[in-house]
Amino acid sequence: MITEILLRYIHFIALFFWIGALTSEHLLLKPQMSRAAITRLARIDAVYGISAVLVVAAGLTLWFGVGKPAEFYSGNWIFHVKVGLAVIVGLLSIYPTVFFTKNRKGQESEMIDIPSNIKLLVRIQLAIMLIIPLLATLMAKGIGT
Ligand code: HEM
């Protein structure tokens, strides 16, 4: 019981950090940025990465480990859509992460052009993140089985 509560807490808190990092990236991204500013974005992106891993780890443990039986989730199509969307968000984050990591090195004041599709990818991730909690609430109530 306590383990389940702890895992749900981690799932939520890590989610707040994940969405917070994503929102910060969206607000900070500009068409041109200095390498120093890109380094800050790369740090925020690291918070994104760690929190995403925690959300998924807590989610998988809730699925296969503690709480309701695994079949409760495995047999629910809404749950699979939710997990699928979370995977898509993760995949969409690869290009921005690689770009921030590659471009933070070098002269700090040098200005770098940021490809417009990076902001678009962050926006799509934010939009998907708005849908997932609705799917989570529905499947937790057993809708979709
Ligand atoms: C692979 C990734 C994920 C897995 C395996 C996963 C799995 C789970 C599981 C097993 C639960 C427990 C549901 C219950 O109480 O019966 C849960 C709850 C929840 N998850 Fe996830 N999750 C994942 C990602 C996400 C993401 C990315 C979000 C939000 C953007 C999210 C939002 C929620 C919410 C809001 C709840 C609480 C639902 C409720 O009790 O009403 N999850 N998740």
Q: Which residues, at least 6 apart from 7, have a Cβ–Cβ distance to it below 8 Å?
A: 58, 61, 62, 65, 66, 67
Residue 130 has pLDDT above 90, yes or no: yes
CB 63 within 8 A of CB 15: no
CA distance 73 to 98: 33
Residue 71 has pLDDT above 90, yes or no: yes
- pLDDT, residue 77, reads 98
Distance 14 CA to ligand 1 centre (A): 11
**In angstroms, what CA-CA distances link 66 with 58, 78, 91, 118?**
10, 20, 27, 38
Pick the residue whose CA is nearest to atom 2 on ligand 1: 56
- pLDDT, residue 105, reads 87
- pTM for the whole structure: 0.93
pLDDT of 59-70, one tens digit each?
Answer: 999 999 998 999
Distance 59 CA to ligand 1 centre (A): 6
CA distance 129 to 131: 5
pLDDT of 74-110, one tens digit each?
Answer: 999 999 999 999 999 999 999 999 999 999 888 888 8
The stretch 35-63 carries a mean pLDDT of 97
Q: Is the CB of 96 under 6 A from ligand 1?
A: no
Mutate to test the pocket of ligand 1, among 9, 11, 126, 138 (most ligand atoms within 8 A of CB): 11
Domain ranges of the chain: 2-140
Report which of 125, 137, 9 is spatially closest to residue 61, judged by C-alpha positions.
9
Distance 43 CA to ligand 1 centre (A): 26
- pLDDT, residue 107, reads 87
